[in-house]
Structures are given as structure tokens and as C-alpha cells.
Amino acid sequence: MEELADFHQKAVDGLKDCLKWFYEHPPQDVDWQSWHISDRPDGWEKKALPNFEMNQHAFIEGIEKAKIGDLTYIEDATGSMQGLSKDMDVLGDEWLAYVPSEVIQQYGENMYKARKRASNIWWTVGEYWDNDEEILDEEITGPVDEQELLRYLKPGESPDE
């Protein structure tokens, strides 16, 4: 969950950088303010950014609640992100076509990683993948790299716990 929150915060910061870049370098050859609000940067500021920031707050709150044993906040926050992804389908990205790809990269790559983790966490915490009391079902996930999973163990924690 902490990894999810980290990637998500980087994505939010990346989106802010994209918006800033666009406003500092508006296209000169088109009247972007005549575009539909869903294709303009101000549409993203009004719709996407507040929702992303609300999700970020929910991730942080979910982490704190999980530390005291309450996983419902994590399930709600990650489920909310999945729903939000679908809600964001109404937003166009015409304005992003005017932002250099190296600026967009921080937003896009980190949001992809955050969404992937949110989905995996939601499926796991909700026990949707529960198969003979294992967290992951390789029929769904594909092969699991156990060495990769071991890097998430905390100091003193063993894989048998």
C-alpha cells in the first residue's frame, strides 16, 4: 500500500507538472479554450486533480488504519481508485498532445503503476483471489517470482508468517 501511495503521489505531482507546462507554453496555433471542457487542462484541474488528491488522502489513511489492523479503508480506497479510473474515461486528453512526452512520462508511468497496485491490493484484501488460503492464484496472476516477493519482508519477518 505504501508503494501504491508513493507511485500515486508521483503521478499527481506529474499531472501538476503537465498542467503547469501547458499553461506556461500554451499552443499558439489553436484556440484551446474553445475545446470541450473535458479536453482542456482546466477540466482536468476541476475533475481529475481533486479526485486524485482525495484518493491520495484515502491511501494514506488506509495505511494508518492497516497499521492498527483495519483493512476496510485499504479495500475502500483501492476500490475507489478502480471506480475513479472508469469515471475518468469521460476526460479527453487533447491538451496533453501539446505537452512533451518527457513531461507526461512522470504522470503516465506512475499512474499506471499505482492503478496496477491498487487493483492487486483490492483483489487481495477483498479475498477475491483466495485459493486454498494463498494470497495469489497463479492461474490469475501468472508465475509469481518468489524472490521478488521476499524483498517486501520487513526486517525480522520470515516468509512463513
For the chain, domain boundaries: 2-132
Q: Do 73 and 58 meet the contact criterion of CB atoms below 8 Å apart?
A: yes
Residue 10 is predicted with a pLDDT of 97
pTM of the model: 0.74
Dist. CA 58–CA 5, nearest whole Å: 9
What is the residue type of 112?
A: Y
pLDDT at 122: 79
Distance CA 131, CA 148 (A): 21
Joined together, the cell numbers standing for residue 109 give: 508511468
One DSSP character per residue, 78-109 reads: HHHHHHHHHHGGG---GGGGGS-HHHHHHHHH
User: Could you read off the pLDDT tens digit of each residue along the chain, which spans 161 residues?
Assistant: 899 899 999 999 999 999 999 999 999 999 999 999 989 999 999 988 998 999 999 999 989 988 888 888 878 888 777 776 666 767 888 999 999 999 999 999 999 999 888 888 877 776 655 555 555 566 666 677 777 778 777 788 877 75
Sign of CA dihedral 150, 113, 18, 100: positive
Identify whether the C-beta of residue 77 lies closer than 8 Å to the C-beta of residue 61.
yes
What is the distance, to the nearest Å, from the Cα of residue 140 to the centroid of all Cα atoms in its chain?
A: 21
- Topology of the domain covering 2-132: Four Helix Bundle (Hemerythrin (Met), subunit A) (1.20.120)
Question: C-alpha cell of 125?
Answer: 484484501
In the chain, what are the helix, strand and coil shares in percent, each to the nearest 5? 70, 0, 30
